[in-house]
Amino acid sequence: MRKALIFLLFQLFSFILFSQDIDFARKIIDTLTSAYFSGRGAVDEGEKKAAYFIAKQYKYLELKKFNDSYFQEFKSPINTFSGELNVRFNNAKLTAGVDYLVNAQSIGIKGTFPLVWYNVDNVPSKKQLKKLANHNFFINKFIVIDTKGAYEDSELFLLQLNLYGATGVVLIEDNKLTHHLSNIYNDYAFIIVKREAINRSFKTLTIEINQKRVRDYQSQNVIGYVEGTEHPDSFIVLSAHYDHLGMMGNEVYFPGANDNASGVAMLLNLAYHYTHKEPPTKTIIFIAFGAEEVGLIGSKYFVNHPTIELNKINFVFNMDLMGTGSKGAMIVNGAIYEKQYAILIAINKKGNYLSSIKKRGKAANSDHYWFSENNVPAFFMYLMGGIKAYHDIDDISKTLPLTKFEDSFRLIRDFVDEL
């Protein structure tokens, strides 16, 4: 089965190579979000498989290598959840990803535990909590926290920190479930449950979480370049992270279509353009960053171990969330590099590409960050509008509109040509 799947993927790609633009992008996104890549995280080597897939595309596109390899490897810790994952209140079994998420810093656990409920009608005082904690009341129990209607300085919010030593915490969520990654873990189990999936009549929680912190998890950046025809020693970096949130247990994975298979598709589209259509005047380096989701690890590593001198990089253009665009784009650092922002605005106006391009100041929200912190001018562009899916199981290719993908491609291409 797996062999057949790999064969299919390779077949798929020889076809992808000869088609272009939006079809090309859709196929890349379909491929990277397929179950084979396990959400491009630490579990099942999903991120590594994605790195190999991207390197294979680089090879097809005939991008050049630094130090004879497309890979720049590095290690960093990550807290992971693999294997069995089960959550059952009384006899009601919950569905992972739909009804609940495991908090990124949870520990593993297995057993059946009584529940202790706290909500606005039942806000414990610090004194009460301390007293209960002193009698080991919370050991082998899960606290259920319902903060609906509570003031933000209420003890209910502090209970999330589990200062009173419960074995586990259940937080009731009214908004959409949004997952994250962490490189550390706490000393208690922690799940976030949708309000619809839990009710006050529940007395017990039967739970199994398998957690493991991988101390020296290896990720890699995938780097290739095309030499400039006129100024080969002058560099422009185009980047997009290819990792995502991986798996939560052995059944649920986070596809990450918008975040950031869409950016990788844009990166490969641009690489195709500069290798097969229009050779660039300056050298363009393409970087698919790894380990972005756990804290911008890949880009930090690159900036600390650059394959070329950082001061030779004219500009970095980082792409993350390129799958929508009905509400235009945002340029992080646009408010800092005013000159380049003005160029981008002028190009957009001339080409009539996006409805609006807004600007922000600096933010540590994607891989551009370490560059501008190290005096390398960098933009981070993300598209807005369209879908609500973000860091959840609904960020899938099927519902990703790619509304402004082609116009964004033209915008970035024209901007790079102008630099």
Q: Give the footprint of Zn ion on this chain (CB under 5 A).
A: 259-260, 320
Select 359 or 391, whichever has its Cβ closest to Zn ion.
391
Bridge-partner residues for 66, per DSSP? 69
Least distance (Å) between residue 366 CB and Zn ion:
6
Cβ atoms of 290 and 356 closer than 8 Å: no
Select 88 or 360, whichever has its Cβ closest to Zn ion.
360
> In 10 A of CB 348, how many CB atoms?
22
Select 146 or 293, whichever has its Cβ closest to Zn ion.
293
Bridge-partner residues for 359, per DSSP? 331
Least distance (Å) between residue 32 CB and Zn ion:
13
Q: Under DSSP, is residue 214 helix (H, G, I), strand (E, B) or coil?
A: strand
Select 146 or 320, whichever has its Cβ closest to Zn ion.
320
Instruction: Report strand pairing: 100-102 vs 282-289.
Output: unpaired
Element (H, E) at 164: none
> In 10 A of CB 121, how many CB atoms?
8
Select 191 or 265, whichever has its Cβ closest to Zn ion.
265
Select 64 or 360, whichever has its Cβ closest to Zn ion.
360
Least distance (Å) between residue 395 CB and Zn ion:
10
**Nearest residue to 117 (alpha-carbon basis) of 31, 203, 208:** 203
Select 103 or 260, whichever has its Cβ closest to Zn ion.
260
Least distance (Å) between residue 276 CB and Zn ion:
27
Least distance (Å) between residue 326 CB and Zn ion:
19
Least distance (Å) between residue 262 CB and Zn ion:
9
Rounded CA separation 243/365 (Å): 14
Least distance (Å) between residue 296 CB and Zn ion:
10
> In 10 A of CB 241, how many CB atoms?
29
The alpha carbons of the chain give a radius of gyration, in whole angstroms, of 23
Q: How far, in Å, are 26, 66, 97, 253, 360 from residue 171 at the CA level?
A: 37, 48, 15, 21, 33
Following DSSP, what letter does each residue of 289-308 receive, concatenated?
ESS-TTTSHHHHHHHHS-SS
**Nearest residue to 50 (alpha-carbon basis) of 253, 290, 274:** 290
